[in-house]
Amino acid sequence: MNEETLKRLADLKARQDAGEHMPCPRCGKNTMKPDVYTNALSRQADVMICECGMEEAMLAFINCPLPLAGWACFHTENHNR
């Protein structure tokens, strides 16, 4: 995980800690529950994600996790540049 990724994750976490409602950082869908801490904690990063946490767990189980670089939050921000 590079420094840029860590910075973005820290930023996401800070915004979630502040109670900001945002699309799921992992899948990018607007499926996060309003109370951020009732969502799932990602296994790959210290941020909350939606029900796709189930999918993340399955992929980890078959030893084929989606890399953080594949997370929607990183894609969207790249598009905006």
Interface residues with Zn ion (CB under 5 A) are: 24, 26-27, 49-50, 52
CB-nearer residue toward Zn ion: 5 or 22? 22
Residue 58 forms beta bridges with which residues? none
Shortest reach from residue 76's CB to Zn ion, in Å: 13
Shortest reach from residue 73's CB to Zn ion, in Å: 10
Shortest reach from residue 49's CB to Zn ion, in Å: 5
Q: Would you give the end-to-end CA distance of the chain in angstroms?
A: 21
Query: Which residues, other chains included, contact 65 with Cβ-Cβ below 8 Å and sequence gap of 6+?
Result: 43, 44, 56, 59
